[in-house]
Amino acid sequence: MSHPRIELVVHDRVARLTLRRLEKLNAIDADMVEALMQACRTIERSDARVAILSGDGHRSFCAGGDIDAWSSLDADVFSRRWLRDGHDAFDALARLSVPLIAVMNGHALGGGLELATCADLRIAEAHVKIGQPEPGLGIIPGWSGTQRASRRFGAQLVRRMALFGEVYGAEEALALGLVDKVVTRGEGLAAADAAAARVLQRSPRATELTKMLINAAEGEESERVVEALAGAVAAASSDLTEGLAAYRQKRTPQFDR
C-alpha cells in the first residue's frame, strides 16, 4: 500500500506500518485517518500474522491530532466527521485480527498515545515522553483516550495524565504500565522484530482467537467477538453442510442430533 501519509509493507508475514509525516511530527490529519483505515483493510486481507506500527524519525511517534487540521472545523463537522472517523480508524487498529506492536520511537502525546493504546504491545525508546495534553487546549482526549485508555491502563492513571497534566518519561511509563518494554534510542524496531518473531512461532488461529477473547474481556467489541466465535463454530459444523445441501436440492434438511 502506497499513501503520502503512511507506508505499509507486508513481508514474511509481518506488516510494517509507518506514519510518514515527519514535517508535522507525524501528526494525524483527515488523510492519515483514512490511510489508517485503508491500511487495516489491507493487513486483514494479507498473509500478515503480526503488525508493527511506528513513526517516521525519532522526535515523535505521533504528535496526536494535527491542531491546524481540526481547529478550523466547525463544531458539526468536528463531531460528525473528525471524531467519528478517527474512532473508526483507531477501533480498526485495536481490533486487527493479528497482534499489533507499537514502536514508540518518539514522543506520544494526546492522539499519539491513543494510537499506541490500540496496540497489544508497546515498546518505548528511552527518550520518549508520554501524556494527554488535550484538556490544556480546551478539548478532551477524543479517540478513546478516556475509554480504551482507562480499560488498558486504569482510570486513575488516565486521570493523572488528562486531569492533572502529568507527563511521563519512558522508564516511569514502564513502571506505571503505560508501556511494556523500554529500549535505547534507535532500538525500537529491532525489539519489535524480536517480538514479532515470537508471534510467528505460535499457532496463527489460536493467536487470533486468543486476541479476540482478551479484547472481549476488556470490553473491546464484545458483541462482535461473541458472534464471530459462534459463527465460526456453526460454519465448521456438519449442520451447515447439510443445510446448504438441502437448500440447493430443495428438500427438508436432516440435521444430526
Q: Which residues are catalytic?
A: 114, 134
HSE on the CB side for 240, CA within 13 Å?
8
Read off the C-alpha cell for 209: 482467537
Distance CA 86, CA 114 (A): 10
Residues 189/52, Cβ–Cβ less than 8 Å: yes
Q: Which residues contact 245 (CB under 8 A, 6 or more apart)?
A: 253
Angle between helices 222-235 and 204-218 (to 10 degrees): 140
DSSP state of 57: S
Distance CA 155, CA 61 (A): 23
Distance CA 202, CA 152 (A): 24
E strands, 141-239, are 168-169, 181-183
Read off the C-alpha cell for 134: 488535550
Distance CA 177, CA 168 (A): 11
- Residue 169's Cα: distance from chain center in Å? 22
